[in-house]
Amino acid sequence: MNALGAPIDLIQPPRLIFGRGTAAEAGRWLASHGIRRPMVVTDTFNAARVGGLDLPGDPLVWGDLAGEPTTDDLARVVAAAEQAGVDAVIGFGGGSSMDLAKLVAVLPGSGQSFSEVVGAERVAGRKLPIVQVPTTAGTGSEVGTRALVTDVAALAKCAVQSRHMLADLAVVDPDLALGMPRSITVATGVDALAHCVEAFTNRKAHPVIDLYALEGIRLVGLWLAKAADDGHDPDARAGMALASLYGGYCLGPVNTAGGHAVSYPLGARYHVAHGAANALIFPHVLAFNAPATPDRTAAILEALGLPVSTDSAKVFDAANDWCVRLGCEMRMSAFGVPADDLPAMAGEAHAIRRLLDNNPRDLAEADILSIYRAAF
């Protein structure tokens, strides 16, 4: 973990608007920049709510996203953007919509294929302004430079990271999440928590990001159960929106670690929602890492309002019970994962070095398999 004076590179949107009732600021910003043909990348539910953005000109609403983005989705949305000749892109929805919007801003007319930009800083540039408007409180993608897309042929999540995909404007309006179902509230909320926890216990952990991470954890502990119990509680939605934003700030300079790597095969292979997969894995990796980060593990439990311990078994029980109380599904078998596939999944997770190399304790392939079996 990095000392106080260690170098860090913070890249954040030049403008962020946060607050209840601010969604229409997206359209005002676009209009002030002369945009006439903006494209909204969204999902089937949020396509009906685009009017609240007050978009200028003749907007194109692409609302065909039904789940987490795949290479098939990407091909379709890029083709639509090229055909329509759009002059800006808005990500409106959860992380899936916002991630696709980033790629729509850089791929059309670039001469680059998706496979050519997978990895870090391989994007040649972009021509379209990007506005990001989250409707859930989970990924923090609105302030990040990464996009995740599942390669349907390889059954693997591929990450593109580029400064060119940073939003020009992020508008975080907590009211957009009012009425969100409990299951989505919880899954996205635990995803926000995982971003903060994995950054806080990361080998690259930095004092600047620790501030965001620990406060994000505290906000989740204070507000997630309330948001789940009352989908129309504006304070709870605002608290979770802020927690998600802080988690997004954690992702850029530090990123996630073992928890996300271990959870990825669940989404890539079996289409388990990203947040649900993270929730299932969260107690296992937190407990596994406890011997390597005892003080930080104790601080995480305290921030969540849970019994403080550095003993792995007690850490697991506290975190697992918390997830169960929220209503998370904590058994892999409930998602239709075949037991025979666990070894192959462990191999796939172990290969995600960009995340596992951040983990404070080495996660061997056998360790990952043990976690899968314990969670099965």
**Residue bearing tokens 């005002």:** 28
In a domain, 3, yes or no: no
In a domain, 10, yes or no: no
In a domain, 9, yes or no: no
Query: In the listed set 176, 195, 230, which residue is the last one of a domain according to the structure?
Result: 176
Q: Report, as an integer, the average pLDDT of 4-10.
A: 90
167 and 191, same domain (yes or no): no
Check pLDDT > 90 for residue 254: yes
In a domain, 269, yes or no: yes
Residue 123 contacts by C-beta under 8 Å, 6 or more apart in sequence? Answer: 106, 110, 112, 117, 160, 162, 164, 165
What pLDDT, on the 0 to 100 scale, is given for residue 1? 80
What pLDDT, on the 0 to 100 scale, is given for residue 135? 98
What pLDDT, on the 0 to 100 scale, is given for residue 4? 83
Residue 325, judged by CB atoms within 10 A of its CB (0-12, 13-18, 19+), counts as exposed
pLDDT in tens, 39-53: 999 999 999 999 999
Per the structure, the complete domain to which residue 64 belongs is given by 16-176
Q: Report, as an integer, the average pLDDT of 168-191.
A: 96
pTM of the model: 0.95
Check pLDDT > 90 for residue 7: yes
Question: In whole angstroms, what is the distance from residue 277 CA to residue 292 CA?
Answer: 23
189 and 250, same domain (yes or no): yes
What pLDDT, on the 0 to 100 scale, is given for residue 156? 86
Residue 235, judged by CB atoms within 10 A of its CB (0-12, 13-18, 19+), counts as middle
Residue 94's pLDDT band, with cuts at 50, 70 and 90, is very high
pLDDT in tens, 194-221: 999 999 999 999 999 999 999 999 999 9
Domain count for the chain: 2
For residue 40, what is the domain's CATH number?
3.40.50.1970
What pLDDT, on the 0 to 100 scale, is given for residue 186? 96
Q: Report, as an integer, the average pLDDT of 228-235.
A: 97
For residue 230, what is the domain's CATH number?
1.20.1090.10
Q: Report, as an integer, the average pLDDT of 218-247.
A: 98
Q: How do strand 146-151 and strand 156-161 relate by DSSP bridges?
A: antiparallel
Query: In the listed set 176, 208, 229, which residue is the last one of a domain according to the structure?
Result: 176
What pLDDT, on the 0 to 100 scale, is given for residue 154? 87
What pLDDT, on the 0 to 100 scale, is given for residue 320? 97
170 and 299, same domain (yes or no): no
157 and 194, same domain (yes or no): no
Query: In the listed set 176, 192, 207, which residue is the last one of a domain according to the structure?
Result: 176
Averaged pLDDT of the chain:
96
pLDDT in tens, 282-332: 999 999 999 999 999 999 999 999 999 999 999 999 999 999 999 999 999
139 and 264, same domain (yes or no): no
What pLDDT, on the 0 to 100 scale, is given for residue 257? 97
